Amino acid sequence: MIKVTLKDGSVMEFDNGITAGEVAERISAGLARAALAAEVDGEVRDLGYKLEKDCNLNILTFDSEGGRNAYRHTTSHVLAHAVKRLYPDAKLAIGPAIENGFYYDFDVEKPFSPEDLAAIEKEMEKIIKEDLPLERFVLPREEAIRFMEERNEPYKVELIRELPEGEEISFYRQGDFVDLCAGPHIPSTGKIKAFKLLQVAGAYWRGNEKNKMLQRIYGTSFPKKSELDEYITRLEEAKKRDHNKLGRELGYFTTVDYIGQGLPILMPKGAKVIQILQRFVEDEEERRGYMLTKTPLMAKRELYKISGHWDHYRDGMFIIGDPEDFENENAEIFALRPMTCPFQFQVYLSKLRSYRELPMRFNETSTLFRNEASGEMHGLIRVRQFTISEGHIACMPEQLEQEFAGCVDLANYMLKTVGLDTDVTYRFSKWDPANKEKYIGTEEQWEEVQGRMREILDKLGIPYTEAEGEAAFYGPKLDIQIKNVHGKEDTLITIQIDFLLAEKFGMEYIDRDGQRKHPYVIHRTSIGCYERTLALLIEKYAGALPTWLSPVQVRVLPIIDKHHEYARKVLAALREKGIRAEVDERNEKIGYKIREAQMEKIPYMLVVGDKEAENSQVAVRSRKEGDLGAMPLEDFIKKIVYEIETKAK
């Protein structure tokens, strides 16, 4: 007999060898019907997994992450099974569950069309109706390689060859379909109740643009059709808010093929919003004691060698010069900067510093260049040239906590002001001790600084998660994470503790005891990448930005030509108060002008005719409040100025 401790803490005894699924049946018929997988001593397993010792057991349903992943991973196998039935020559790559669904990558002769997806869905429905059991089996390494070679699956063979010697190589069979897979899976294809294939995209094998481009089919699945329908509705709403679509339609940015991927052109509206944000950020940083710098966009590789970027970040840099000269020490090689830190350090190094000068806070609106993979490009969210609110603080050890807290306070203030504060999560990004070659510094140094950072975060009461392997190569960081409308998570703001680069660059200060010491350096952004922030704001507000951020705050609409003169007087009065306004003098009906202004998400429309001209009034239409009626121009100006100054959402 074995003792099984359940999630609620109760303990039950069973015969040795009972499966997790059989335990679910013993607990209740309802749980057995809903069960998809099981967590045994912290490991997610199939329901057919045999319990052969005392253990902790949690039966997983779709309400749990492990249950959802097993359900959707199985759906990806059904997708691959259907593709192999319809396109026998297709080669299988990988097909994991992801946050809101699954995908599978295929090597096929021609891209999948919408008609192909419809046919694949029909074949998937057949496989589900067949209620095929998923059966796990294992093979020795060499036999597993031969097995996949015989099935003409080169990508699977490559994956097997990379597994460590002695690794258990498992497969799952459903009917005549077999896939290399670690699992877990749900018991049978018949348990899948509702699914939908969503889109096809290109994806390089292993995410490396030097490899072959594969076809990636995305999909999702749910245990109820009503849940699937609700999700599809949310997706449609997300598409409407997608900045990549809406931002182009509203004239915020565009892209041009012959300029290049990840190099967007900001139109006047987009450029204006970013200018507003930059001025706001720089003014606030100055108020908090930051000193503005302006540094070069490129440098010789020698600078990046000192910082470690040449050895640890070279693949992410745009290098100017012949690649054959990269290892030639006598060749002059330049690279566009992927970050500002080694440049701003030169300001600190311009003279010997005293402890009385610390902390020193430098800020810069920096243009950076990073060689992102082409498959990662998306509108303004991930680009190759971008602008960032970058800053660095040199401080003494006893100042570290207060300065770090100040960076967090500044970031949270910015997020709250623009309205993104409720949409973010916090991640404590640590090094990966199993991949020490990715970092500089010793294990003792990393553990000490990470412990210090954890203490600071806990004292600040920040609700963070921890992520191993996400640190910068020179130190741990707090990443403020945010998701776009499609659920893809990106980093918006980072605050990093650097305990190594000051020494590498020879940054010192004379302490109270007369000794030379190296300062700590905090690398931080206050609002992150401006292009990404603009994208997220367009999605957050569905293009209807708050009045203080709107590129055009007021449009004056004269009813007919004879009202143009008064409309221009209104325009002049608005602009005198710093209000961004314009006049629509086109020979169009007033109703058309109003509708177009509404479509462009302009906060206020001022209709002017005979009555308004005679009484120095404007007829006000608000994007949020509708028709506000006529009011003195002076009163409207007071109203909008207050709204702008208070940065109302």
CATH number for 569? 3.40.50.800
- The arithmetic mean of pLDDT across residues 576-594, rounded, is 96
Please state, as a whole number, how many other Cβ atoms lie within 10 Å of the Cβ of residue 100. 16
Residue 214 in domain: yes
167 and 225 share one domain: yes
d(CA 280, CA 462): 25
Question: Residue 480's pLDDT band (boundaries 50, 70, 90)?
Answer: very high
Q: Model-level pTM?
A: 0.82
Residue 547 in domain: no
Q: What is the pLDDT of residue 323?
A: 80
432 and 498 share one domain: yes
**E-state strands within 499-584:** 509-510, 516-517, 520-529, 554-558, 581-583
237 and 123 share one domain: yes
468 and 617 share one domain: no
Q: Is the pLDDT of residue 374 over 80?
A: no
279 and 405 share one domain: yes
Among residues 306, 336, 366, which one ends one of the domains? 336
The number of folded domains in the chain is 5
Written as one string, the DSSP assignment of 450-471 is: HHHHHHHHHHHT--EEEEET-S
Share of residues in the chain with pLDDT > 70 (%): 100
Describe the strand order of the beta sheet including 177-180 as a list of residue ranges: 135-139, 169-174, 177-180
Which residue range is the domain that position 33 belongs to?
A: 2-61
Lowest mean pLDDT among 406-420, 480-494, 542-556: 480-494
70 and 161 share one domain: yes
188 and 157 share one domain: yes
Residue 253 in domain: no
Q: What is the pLDDT of residue 329?
A: 83
Question: Residue 426's pLDDT band (boundaries 50, 70, 90)?
Answer: very high
321 and 355 share one domain: no
Q: Decide which of 440 and 585 is more confident.
A: 585
d(CA 51, CA 19): 6
Question: Residue 630's pLDDT band (boundaries 50, 70, 90)?
Answer: very high
Question: Residue 167's pLDDT band (boundaries 50, 70, 90)?
Answer: confident
Residue 549 in domain: no
d(CA 249, CA 252): 8
Residue 444 in domain: yes
- The angle subtended at Cα 327 by Cα 323 and Cα 329, nearest 5°, is 120
Residue 582 in domain: yes
> What CATH number should be reported for the domain holding residue 360?
3.30.930.10
Residue 587 in domain: yes
> What CATH number should be reported for the domain holding residue 112?
3.30.980.10
Hey, is 327 helix, strand or coil? coil
d(CA 142, CA 153): 15
Question: What residues contact 284, with CB distance under 8 A and at least 6 apart?
Answer: 410, 413, 414, 526
d(CA 225, CA 195): 8
Among residues 307, 336, 365, which one ends one of the domains? 336
494 and 408 share one domain: yes
568 and 624 share one domain: yes
Instruction: Please report the sign of the dihedral spanned by the C-alpha atoms of residue 61, residue 66, residue 68, residue 71.
Output: negative
- In this structure, are residues 492 and 480 in contact, taking their beta carbons and an 8 Å threshold? yes
Among residues 61, 79, 100, which one ends one of the domains? 61
Q: Decide which of 589 and 209 is more confident.
A: 589
197 and 281 share one domain: no
134 and 273 share one domain: no
Question: Residue 435's pLDDT band (boundaries 50, 70, 90)?
Answer: confident
Question: Residue 156's pLDDT band (boundaries 50, 70, 90)?
Answer: very high
Residue 440 in domain: yes
